[in-house]
Structure 1
Amino acid sequence: MLAAASLLLPAGFNSPALGQAQERIVAVGGVITEVIYALGLQDRIAGVDSTSLFPADALRDRPNIGYVRAVSAEGVLSLKPSLILAIEGAGPPDAMSLLSESGVKLVRIADETSAEGVASKIEAIGSAVAAAEPARRLAAQVRQRFDELATLRGRIPAKRRVLFVLSLQNGRVMVGGRNSTADAIIGHAGGINVASGIEGYKPMTDEAILAAAPDVILMMRNGGAPTVTPDDLFAMPSFAQTPASTNKRLVQMDGLYLLGFGPRTPLAARDLMAAIYPESAIPPLKTATAP
């Protein structure tokens, strides 16, 4: 499922020695870290946040500044960065204000989820780290993959209804509604988000889930272990009477791969499409192996 990082490198890109040799970058957002690695500039990274799970060695080899929405300004500045790249929504606001006033260059990156938005995000990160041309080539590859994905999406005869479940805690089912990253990836994969009547990530009642009649339940899997087994999920009253329960249609995918909205997103959307429509034999993206 996961694409090799080498497949994401822009054509003709061989040298990591772009930009300022002594630049120290703190990446606040997993997608920012992923793009910097894809550009071959990982040696510039002085610190990452806890969502920087791809590549795996990013969080293992770099200082961890904490969760993207709960970073410590003092912790970031202790790494003596020359550049801070922060994804939209990074926080808390007080910490971001302190970083903005610190005198260290702070660049905020819009966290778009559309095909063009993902490509523009890559270009914005590349521009910030003085690698505009390699980033442009990487963004062009991503655009090609989204175009191929759109062609596959157009061949789907009948769209299935998908419910993204963020968490199951204390009997409360937290789902992804409209304008959420879950809603965006379901759309890219050719599904219908049955929670579109909800804004963002919010609880959904058992009655509402039953009325929504999802054909597929989608969840994140962090690490190797599944979040929940199909038997356990469809034994719950919330899901037992849904169409998804008939064939125990539960799809679980790596969280950053599924919702990161970076260079791998077209590949993740294709994999999700293949899981939603297994009978359609969705082919791999031909552009996935392009140099």
Structure 2
Amino acid sequence: MITVLGFSSKAGKKIAGQKIVSLNGTISEILAGIGMEPYIIGTDVTSNFPESIKRKPKVGHNRTISAEGIIALQPDIVTGLTTDVKPELQAQLKGAGIKLVLFNQEFTADGTRKLIKEVATAFGAPSKANPVIDKLNADLASAAKSGKTGGKPKVLFIYARGTGTMMVAGEGTSVEQIIELAGGQNAVKGFTDYKPLTPEALVAADPDAILLFSSGMESLGGVAGLQQVQGVNQTKAGKNKKFITMEGELLTGFGPRLGQAVAQLSQNLK
């Protein structure tokens, strides 16, 4: 039977030390931060921090994972976000007798603190959350002091997987939230989630900066490739070559490194 464990210390003691597969990079990072990395026997491909996590067996991308790869590792527990584990995957894991520990995530600084506490408590180490949160708070405070941008530059985030797949981030996305934390504003409004990039919308948005994942920029062939995208050179960002790249999980993970992500983006927006 699938067991979605609560966050009581009693539940946590029952699962501490068991074999874990993590299907989310942020959860994996928190688990490593509270000393649970030795018990992680597999992860999804978004789990890439700390560096040692990359050496764990991979079971695929969290949105397209099949049960077979997870079950083959014989974990006691599968953990991740509620948005990551589809009902059919839950049913398959249930049939294999694997427990699920799933969390909700809010893309705010308080949401990150809450998630760290919940993960630590669920895995039987509530006190281990404190130093992780203390470091997060210090990083956020440092970013706030040094990250004044002088106004709120308009930032357009483009999710790119080559020129054939280019999407822009709308309202309510994790990207919009971190842009605002870094002192900027989303250059596009009027829709939620993501929508395809069009030259007309790009020119109309006229961003001061264009933000991409590092992997996205690489998929376009670097800056030269981005400048070939229709409409880019007609924007302020294009004319000033204000293109910013960041590692994807750092930028959007809203995990323990949130303060570092805010600081890095703030500096790049200056």
Whether these two folds match at TM > 0.5 is yes
Q: Which of 240, 243, 257 in structure 1 is aligned with 2:236? A: 243
Which amino acid is 2:174 matched to? Answer: T
Q: Which runs of 5+ in 1 are unaligned?
A: 1-17, 278-291
Q: 1:120 to 1:205 in 2, by over 3 A?
A: same
Q: Which of 98, 110, 114 in structure 2 is aligned with 1:116? A: 110
Is contact 2:149-2:266 (8 Å) kept?
Answer: no
Deviations 1:85-128 (A, max 9, x none): 12232133311232245433211111221000011111111112
Aligned equivalents of 2:238 and 2:46: distance in 1? 32
Q: Which of 42, 45, 61 in structure 1 is aligned with 2:40? A: 45
Is contact 1:53-1:59 (8 Å) kept?
Answer: yes
Q: Which residue of 2 aligns with 1:126?
A: 120
Is contact 1:122-1:135 (8 Å) kept?
Answer: yes
Aligned equivalents of 1:172 and 1:106: distance in 2? 33
Of stretches 230-239 and 242-251 in structure 1, the one that deviates more from structure 2 is 230-239
Q: 1:227 to 1:265 in 2, by over 3 A?
A: farther
Identity within the alignment, %? 32
Q: Which of 93, 111, 127 in structure 2 is aligned with 1:99? A: 93
Q: Is 2:229 aligned against 1:210? A: no
Aligned equivalents of 1:189 and 1:100: distance in 2? 41
Q: Which has the higher contact order (CA 8 A, sep 6+)?
A: 2
Deviation (angstroms), 1:198: 2.5
**TM-score calculated relative to the size of structure 1:** 0.80
Of stretches 208-217 and 34-43 in structure 1, the one that deviates more from structure 2 is 34-43
Structure 1 SS opposite 2:151: coil
Q: Which runs of 5+ in 2 are unaligned?
A: 1-12
Q: Which residue of 2 aligns with 1:177?
A: 170
Q: Which of 232, 248, 251 in structure 2 is aligned with 1:255? A: 248
Of stretches 118-127 and 71-80 in structure 1, the one that deviates more from structure 2 is 71-80
Q: Which of 215, 219, 228 in structure 2 is aligned with 1:222? A: 215
Deviations 1:211-270 (A, max 9, x none): 111010000013995854323322332211101112211011111111111101110111
Q: 1:19 to 1:150 in 2, by over 3 A?
A: farther
Structure having the higher helix fraction is 2
